[in-house]
Amino acid sequence: MGLNCGCPAGTHIADLEIAECKESMGQVQKVAFQRIYKTAGTKNSVTDPTKKASFSTLFSAADGSKMTVSPYIQGPTSEPGAVRTFGGGNQTLGGIEITIGREPTTFSAAIYQESQKTIAQLKQYMCEEIGVSRTALRAGITRLISCGMLESRRGSGTYVCPPKPLNIFQETYNFSDAVRTAGLHPSSRLVSTGTIEADEALADKLGVAVGVPLLRMQRVRLIESEPASIETAHVNLSLCPSLPEHDFECESLYDVLLKEGGVRVEHGREHISISRLNAEEAELLQQEEGTPVFYESTIEFDKDMRFVEHCKSVILSTKFRFADNGEKNGMRSVAGEQWLKQ
């Protein structure tokens, strides 16, 4: 948990020297918590924050002014607030800045063992501070977990998930663009590449003639330098014969197709299912064999419905998400629009 330990307020500030705002708080052992408001509109207060004895009545109080004390805390750390200064230039004598205080000192620590009664009390304080009930708070957290914005770790707590790139079914998908839109950095690691000719089974699946030259390419796609998916693609070389000359560990396939072949992907068919990693896939993605993953198969076409690319992808569910925007006949549904805003 994080706490802000500020200097005393009100009339006491004039009685305290700047040196009282210690740069080092020493070994903090326990922390006292108090409600902001004792009753509606009535704030709690301590008579003199410089005297520990003034806390005693609040520790034993039976009403809303009661204070709760934590058990011994673990791993306390504190970082002194930035120095507050005034002056410089013509504002002060000699242009020398004057120190007038510090920003609040940030203090953090962990509470590993405590009774459920005290934990419940601390949660209640948190709810009161942000103005919601515990029921509403739990419902909100559950909703955020289901949306993939939070994750609950057994025996540890609830944490904010890093942003995940989004693949919208009704829109042309580009891995690099989707990752950048999420504020992340995409990259690729080339596993293998080569030129093949479409056999009868592949030609039938792709809607091309037997013997059509294809670029076969397998890449591990990375997000923030961490493996996110494995893509195995077959690309129509007749639309852009120069593809084998490019390094697709550094270049975008769709960018090269557009610049050198004048080919833009505009239509496609997509199939999503759930699978588990085999041994080879697990090694490439640095995961355990049998880890659940998304399995995606796509066939992409240009505006004239010429086959451009067939791609099979194995995607880690922790790195990517999929969405249906509810679009039908060019119109998005209200439900689809609301989902995309999450």
What CATH number did the domain enclosing 264 receive? 3.40.1410.10
Q: Both 182 and 198 in a single domain?
A: yes
CA–CA distance, 330 with 73 (Å, rounded to integer): 58
Q: What is the pLDDT of residue 33?
A: 72
Which residue in this structure is represented by tokens 């880890």?
A: 291
Helix (H, G, I), strand (E, B) or coil at 61: coil
pTM to 2 decimals? 0.54
- Domain membership of residue 340 (yes or no) is no
What mean pLDDT, rounded, does the chain reach? 77
Q: What is the pLDDT of residue 27?
A: 63
Nearest by Cα to 167 from 323, 341, 326: 323
Final residue belonging to a domain, choices 140, 161, 182? 161
- Domain membership of residue 227 (yes or no) is yes
Residue 1 has pLDDT above 70, yes or no: no
Residue 100 has pLDDT above 90, yes or no: no
Q: Mind listing the pLDDT tens digit for each residue in 150-174?
A: 878 777 778 777 777 777 665 666 7
Final residue belonging to a domain, choices 161, 183, 211? 161
Which residue in this structure is represented by tokens 């009100």?
A: 10
Over residues 184-202, the mean pLDDT reads 92
- Distance of alpha carbon 142 from its chain centroid, rounded? 16
Which domain does 57 fall in, by range?
2-127
Q: What is the pLDDT of residue 54?
A: 57
Q: Both 44 and 100 in a single domain?
A: yes
DSSP state of 50: T
CA–CA distance, 254 with 174 (Å, rounded to integer): 8
Contact 145, 340 (CB under 8 A): no
- Domain membership of residue 191 (yes or no) is yes
Higher-confidence residue of 245 and 148: namely 245
* The total number of structural domains that make up the chain: 3
- Domain membership of residue 103 (yes or no) is yes
**pLDDT category of residue 266 using cuts at 50, 70 and 90:** confident
Higher-confidence residue of 292 and 168: namely 292
Residue 192 has pLDDT above 90, yes or no: yes
Which residue in this structure is represented by tokens 């004057």?
A: 98
**pLDDT category of residue 306 using cuts at 50, 70 and 90:** very high
Residue 18 has pLDDT above 60, yes or no: no
- Domain membership of residue 339 (yes or no) is no
State the amino acid at position 341 in one-letter form: K
Q: Both 245 and 146 in a single domain?
A: no
- Domain membership of residue 341 (yes or no) is no
Q: What is the pLDDT of residue 109?
A: 76
**pLDDT category of residue 21 using cuts at 50, 70 and 90:** very low
Over residues 259-282, the mean pLDDT reads 91
**pLDDT category of residue 326 using cuts at 50, 70 and 90:** low
- Domain membership of residue 288 (yes or no) is yes
Q: Both 266 and 152 in a single domain?
A: no
Q: Both 103 and 189 in a single domain?
A: no
Over residues 122-148, the mean pLDDT reads 79
- Domain membership of residue 152 (yes or no) is yes
**pLDDT category of residue 93 using cuts at 50, 70 and 90:** confident
Q: Both 176 and 317 in a single domain?
A: yes
- Residues present in the chain in total: 342
Q: Both 215 and 114 in a single domain?
A: no
Q: Both 179 and 91 in a single domain?
A: no
From residue 103, how far is each of 18, 87, 250 by CA, in Å?
Answer: 12, 17, 46
Q: How many CB atoms lie within 10 A of CB 257?
A: 22
Final residue belonging to a domain, choices 106, 127, 148? 127
Higher-confidence residue of 311 and 327: namely 311
Q: Both 121 and 136 in a single domain?
A: no
Q: Both 190 and 262 in a single domain?
A: yes
Find the helix packing angle between 134-146 and 116-130, rounded to 10°: 90
- Distance of alpha carbon 135 from its chain centroid, rounded? 25
Residue 194 has pLDDT above 50, yes or no: yes
- Total H helices, total E strands in the chain: 8, 19
Q: Both 60 and 121 in a single domain?
A: yes
Q: What is the pLDDT of residue 110?
A: 72
Q: Are strands 2-5 and 292-301 parallel, antiparallel or unpaired?
A: unpaired
Of 43-57, 89-103, 232-246, 268-282, which range is least confident?
43-57
Q: Both 146 and 176 in a single domain?
A: no
Here the tokens at position 149 are 């914005």
CA–CA distance, 271 with 265 (Å, rounded to integer): 17
Contact 264, 308 (CB under 8 A): no
